[in-house]
Amino acid sequence: MKKSHLIAAGAAASAAAAASVLGAAYGIYRLWFYHAAQPEDISSEELSKTLPYGEQLKKDAEALAAAPYESIHITADDGTLLAARYYHHADGAPVAIIFHGYKGFARRDGMGGYTLCKKLGYNVLLPDQRSHGASGGHTITMGVKERYDCRAWAYWAYKHFGPDVPLFLMGVSMGASTVLLASGLDLPPTVRGIIADCGYTSPHDICRKVLAEFKPHMPVGPVYTIGRLGTLVFGRFDPEDADCRQAVAKTDIPILFIHGESDDFVPCDMSRANYEACAGQKKLVTIPGAGHAVAYYVDIPAYETAVTQFLSDCLEEKPHPAQTNQQ
């Protein structure tokens, strides 16, 4: 075979291999990170069947569904339209901003937090994360871009409610990691505390953990690398660009870490690692027997006691100065 023919054959083989890798990268992106936003349409009855705490869930879901709210819309730093529901309970009361998890929705993941905050007389903002609910976008970035959305909501609340109304950032699962990552950013001085329920350490860590379980017969390293290529090319984000441990190491905002000890999706050790890395005031509460994102319903008294005490302690502290961290 002539040299020119060998070169052509080699080029064709390389092109085919590149196309195959790119196709695999797109497949992983499409499966794990693509998620077109769509309105919530699950009923309280259906919601109560999704977890083994049906009666309490149904009761709380019906109360939240019946509660009056105001639709709020803002624009993210990158131009994405973001939506939220605001529930007003008392003038001048603290405001809790509660973020839901991966492919979840606010009316489910934020239900326990909403229920408790209503008991305390707090006002509540339930944002739809980008690519979820009524918000725009089609790519879940595991906190990489969501942290800036969290900051945008915090500044909306700061400007809307004024400098005398305390703000609290709360989140469950990916929402927990979202608020932890946001802790390393320049947040308004009225953010008095952060509550992170079952957050992971980083997009990198949770993606590799899930990949190892989803494809147990394939080497995690190469599959993760191909998946990362998919996020870079098709999702326009890099899962390596965010780490909760680095963020909480820079903040002086008090943080309460909560995690179910039987969580087999986001291991409890990830919250322990985030807790260890946190440089400011912090507390870690683990709930025995609780799986992923259900700590509240497994032990409502313990959960409510821990959160209520944390919120009270934060309100007694002097407000922290505005942070100037950039990440």
Looking at the domain assignment, is residue 180 inside a domain?
A: yes
pLDDT band at 114 (very low <50, low <70, confident <90, very high): very high
The answer on 174 and 68 residing in a single domain is yes
For residue 62, the Cα-to-chain-centroid distance in whole angstroms is 24
Q: Apex CA 117: angle with CA 302 and CA 284, to 5°?
A: 40
Residue 326, in any domain of the structure: no
Residues 72 and 198 in one domain: yes
Residue 152 corresponds to which tokens in the numbers above? 């945008």
The residue segments making up the domain with residue 257 are 39-202+242-316
CATH number at residue 298: 3.40.50.1820
pLDDT at 18 (0 to 100):
62
Q: What is the four-CA torsion angle of 16, 20, 26, 32, rounded to 10 degrees? A: -170
| Residue 158 shares a structural domain with residue 208 | no
> How many folded domains does the chain comprise?
2
Residues 131 and 173 both lie in one domain: yes
- State mean pLDDT over 309-314: 98
pLDDT at 21: 84
Residues 43 and 97 in one domain: yes
Residues sharing a CB contact under 8 Å with residue 160, sequence separation 6 or more, in sequence order: none
Which tens digit of pLDDT belongs to each residue from 210-235? 988 887 888 999 999 999 999 999 99
Confidence of residue 5 (pLDDT cuts 50, 70, 90): very low
The β-bridge partners of 172 are 197
Query: Which of 196-200, 204-208, 311-315, 317-321 has the least mean pLDDT?
Result: 317-321
- The answer to the question of residue 91 being in a domain is yes
Residues 148 and 223 in one domain: no
Domain identity same for 83 and 213: no
Q: Which residues touch 84 (CB under 8 Å, ≥6 apart)?
A: 71, 72, 73, 74, 106, 125, 126, 127, 128, 153
Assess if residue 62 is contained within a domain: yes
Same-domain status, 107 and 177 = yes
Kindly state whether residues 126 and 10 are assigned to the same domain: no
Mean pLDDT, range 1-13, rounded to an integer: 45
> What are 261's two structure tokens?
């000890």
| Cβ(74)–Cβ(92) below 8 Å | no
Predicted TM-score of the model (pTM)? 0.92
Q: Are both 80 and 129 inside the same structural domain?
A: yes
Domain check: are 195 and 208 in the same one?
no
Residue 327, domain member (yes or no): no
**Closest C-alpha to 136, from 78, 85, 69, 185:** 78
Instruction: Looking at the structure, tell me whether residues 2 and 138 fall in a common domain.
Output: no
Residue 323 lies in a domain: no
Q: Provide the CB-side half-sphere exposure for 227 (13 A, CA).
A: 24
The residue among 181, 216, 236 that closes a domain is 236
* Per-residue pLDDT, 15: 52
Do the domain assignments include residue 321?
no
- Residue showing tokens 């950013």: 185
Tokens representing 4 are 């020119």
**One-letter amino acid identity for 232?**
L
For residues 230 and 25, the answer to whether their CB atoms sit within 8 Å is yes
Residue spans of beta strands (DSSP E) within the chain: 70-75, 81-87, 95-99, 123-128, 167-172, 191-197, 255-260, 282-287
In a domain, 146, yes or no: yes
Q: Which residues sit opposite 311 in a β-bridge?
A: none
